[in-house]
Structure 1
Amino acid sequence: MLKRCLALTMCILLIVSCSSNEKGNDQAEQGSALDIDVEKRVLDNGLKVLIVKNSSLPIFSLYTFYDVGGRFEGEGTTGATHFLEHMLFRKTKNYPSGYFSNFVDRNGGSSNAYTTFDNTVYYEKLPIENLGKTLELEAERMSNVVLDPEEFEKERGAVLEERKMRYENSPRGKMYSAMMKTMFEGTPYGGSVIGAKEDVLNLSREKMLDFYKDFYAPNNATVVLVGDVESDNAFDMIEETLGKLKKNEKLKSIKEKYSKNKSYDSKAKLPKVIGLRGQSPTPMFSLSFPAPKVGNDEAYALDFLSSILGDGVSSYLNQEFVTGRRPKLTNVYAANYTLKNSGVFFIQGQLLDRVSIRGFRKKLFRSLREACDKAIDERSLKKTQNNVLLSYYSNITNNSGLASFLGQNEFFHGDYAWYKNELEIYNNMTVKKVKDVCKKYLDPKKSAFISIWNKHKRTKL
Structure 2
Amino acid sequence: MRMSIMRAPAQRRPFLWESPVRTNLIRAVLFTFVAAAVIACTLHSQEAPPKARALDVHEHVLENGLKLVVVNRPGVPLVSTFIWYKVGSMDEVPGQTGMAHFLEHMMFKGSRNYKVGEVDKVTVRNGGSNNAFTSNDYTGYFFDLPKSRYKEGLKIESDRMRHLTLDLAEFDAEKKVVQSESDISADDPSSQLWERMSGQLFGPAHPYSHPVLGWPQDVEDISRRDMRLFYDAHYHPNHATIVMVGDISSEEALASIKAHFGDIPRGPELQRPESAAINFKGPRTVEVRSEADLIEFGRQYLGVQAGHKDAAALDVLGMIMGNGVTSRFYRELVEKQRLATAVAAGNSDQILAGSFWTWAQLTPGVEREQFSAALEGVIKTVVDEGITADELTRTKNRFLSDLVFSQESASDLAQSLGNSETVYGGWRHALEYPDLIRAVTASDVQRVAGQYLKGERAVTGWLMPESAETSTVPRGEEPKPKALDVQRHVLSNGMTVLLLERPGLPVVSVQASVRAGRSGEAPSEHGLSSLTGSLLDAGTRDFSKQQIAETMQGIGANLSTSDGGVGVRVLAEHTDIGLNMLSQVLVHPTFPADEVELAKQQTLAGIEAARNETSWFARAAAAAALYGPANPLGRSGEGTPASVSAFKREDLQGWHQRYFRPDNCILAAVGDFESSEMLKRIEMQFKEWKRPQTPLEFPEFDLKRPDKLEGEQVFSIKNFDATRIDPKRKRILIDYPQKDQVVVRLQTLGITRDNPDYYALLVMDNILGTSPGFTDRFSGKLRDELGLAYSTYANITGGSGIYKGAFLGYIGTRAENVELALATMYELIEQIRTESVSDQELIDAKDYLKGSFVFGIETTGQLAGMLIEMQRYNLGFDYLVKYANAVDDVTKEDIQRVASKYLVPEQMVEVLAGPVTKITPLPEAPEGE
TM over 0.5: yes
Q: Any residues of structure 2 matched to 1:6-405 within 5 Å, and which?
A: 33=52, 36-165=55-184, 167-185=185-203, 186-248=205-267, 250-252=268-270, 255=271, 259=273, 264-324=276-336, 326-374=337-385, 376-405=387-416
1:143 counterpart letter in structure 2: R
SS at match of 1:91: coil
Q: Is this contact kept in 2: 1:280–1:452, CA < 8 A? A: no
Distance in 2 between residues matched to 1:81 and 1:412, nearest whole Å: 16
1:428 to 435, 439, 459: 439
SS at match of 1:344: strand
**4+ residue segments displaced more than 3 Å:** 8-12, 31-35, 456-461
Distance in 1 between residues matched to 2:407 and 2:53, nearest whole Å: 11
- Name the TM-score, length of structure 1 as normaliser: 0.88
Q: Which residue does 2:418 correspond to in 1? A: 407
Please tell me whether Structure 1 or Structure 2 has the larger radius of gyration of its CA atoms: 2
Q: Is this contact kept in 1: 2:328–2:378, CA < 8 A? A: no
Change (3 A) 1:94 1:11: closer
Distance in 2 between residues matched to 1:225 and 1:207, nearest whole Å: 32
- The CA deviation string for residues 22-58 of structure 1, in whole angstroms up to 9 with x for no partner, is xxxxxxxxx9657521111100100000111112111
1:161 counterpart letter in structure 2: S
2:303 counterpart letter in structure 1: A
Q: Is this contact kept in 2: 1:226–1:402, CA < 8 A? A: yes
SS at match of 1:395: helix
SS at match of 1:396: helix
Give the superposition deviation at 1:448: 1.1
2:315 counterpart letter in structure 1: D
SS at match of 2:428: helix
SS at match of 2:310: helix
Q: Is this contact kept in 2: 1:275–1:450, CA < 8 A? A: yes
Q: Which moved more, 1:51-60 or 1:41-50?
A: 51-60
Give the superposition deviation at 1:268: 2.9
1:134 counterpart letter in structure 2: G
Q: Is this contact kept in 2: 1:170–1:279, CA < 8 A? A: no
Q: Which has the higher helix share?
A: 1
SS at match of 2:298: strand
SS at match of 2:154: helix
Q: Which residue does 2:448 correspond to in 1? A: 437
Q: How many residues align?
A: 427
Give the superposition deviation at 1:425: 1.4
Give the superposition deviation at 1:10: 10
Distance in 2 between residues matched to 1:32 and 1:443, nearest whole Å: 40
SS at match of 2:450: helix
Q: Is this contact kept in 1: 2:193–2:287, CA < 8 A? A: no
SS at match of 1:90: coil
Structure 2: which 5+ runs fail to align? Answer: 1-31, 37-49, 472-771, 774-847, 849-929
Distance in 2 between residues matched to 1:184 and 1:289, nearest whole Å: 10
Change (3 A) 1:454 1:118: same
Q: Is this contact kept in 1: 2:194–2:461, CA < 8 A? A: no
SS at match of 1:241: helix
Percent identity over paired residues = 30
Indicate whether 1:419 and 2:430 are aligned: yes
Distance in 2 between residues matched to 1:232 and 1:241, nearest whole Å: 14
Q: Is this contact kept in 1: 2:281–2:456, CA < 8 A? A: no
The alignment yields a C-alpha RMSD, in angstroms, of 2.1
- The CA deviation string for residues 285-334 of structure 1, in whole angstroms up to 9 with x for no partner, is 1111111111112111000000000000111000111111x211110100
Give the superposition deviation at 1:62: 0.1
Change (3 A) 1:34 1:297: farther
SS at match of 1:336: strand
Distance in 1 between residues matched to 2:407 and 2:179, nearest whole Å: 34
2:277 counterpart letter in structure 1: D
Give the superposition deviation at 1:422: 1.9
Distance in 2 between residues matched to 1:91 and 1:176, nearest whole Å: 34
Distance in 2 between residues matched to 1:136 and 1:75, nearest whole Å: 34
SS at match of 1:265: coil
1:385 counterpart letter in structure 2: K
Distance in 1 between residues matched to 2:292 and 2:56, nearest whole Å: 49
2:188 counterpart letter in structure 1: S
Give the superposition deviation at 1:251: 2.8
Change (3 A) 1:442 1:393: same
Q: Is this contact kept in 2: 1:65–1:121, CA < 8 A? A: yes
Distance in 2 between residues matched to 1:128 and 1:200, nearest whole Å: 39
- The CA deviation string for residues 190-214 of structure 1, in whole angstroms up to 9 with x for no partner, is 1100000111111111000110011
Q: Which moved more, 1:114-123 or 1:49-58?
A: 49-58
Give the superposition deviation at 1:11: 6.4
Distance in 2 between residues matched to 1:263 and 1:277, nearest whole Å: 34
Distance in 2 between residues matched to 1:36 and 1:426, nearest whole Å: 20
1:335 counterpart letter in structure 2: G
Q: Is this contact kept in 2: 1:118–1:339, CA < 8 A? A: yes
Q: Is this contact kept in 2: 1:32–1:423, CA < 8 A? A: no
SS at match of 1:341: coil
Q: Which residue does 1:16 correspond to in 2? A: none
Distance in 2 between residues matched to 1:421 and 1:395, nearest whole Å: 15
- The CA deviation string for residues 260-287 of structure 1, in whole angstroms up to 9 with x for no partner, is xx96222333111222123432111111
1:152 counterpart letter in structure 2: F
1:446 to 457, 463, 478: 457
SS at match of 2:212: coil
Distance in 1 between residues matched to 2:297 and 2:80, nearest whole Å: 38
Distance in 1 between residues matched to 2:447 and 2:55, nearest whole Å: 33
SS at match of 1:251: coil
- Name the TM-score, length of structure 2 as normaliser: 0.45
Change (3 A) 1:9 1:401: closer
1:444 counterpart letter in structure 2: G
Distance in 1 between residues matched to 2:323 and 2:276, nearest whole Å: 29
- The CA deviation string for residues 225-260 of structure 1, in whole angstroms up to 9 with x for no partner, is 111112212211110111111111x234xx26xx4x
Distance in 2 between residues matched to 1:138 and 1:236, nearest whole Å: 16
Distance in 1 between residues matched to 2:176 and 2:51, nearest whole Å: 49
Q: Is this contact kept in 2: 1:48–1:223, CA < 8 A? A: yes
Give the superposition deviation at 1:131: 1.7
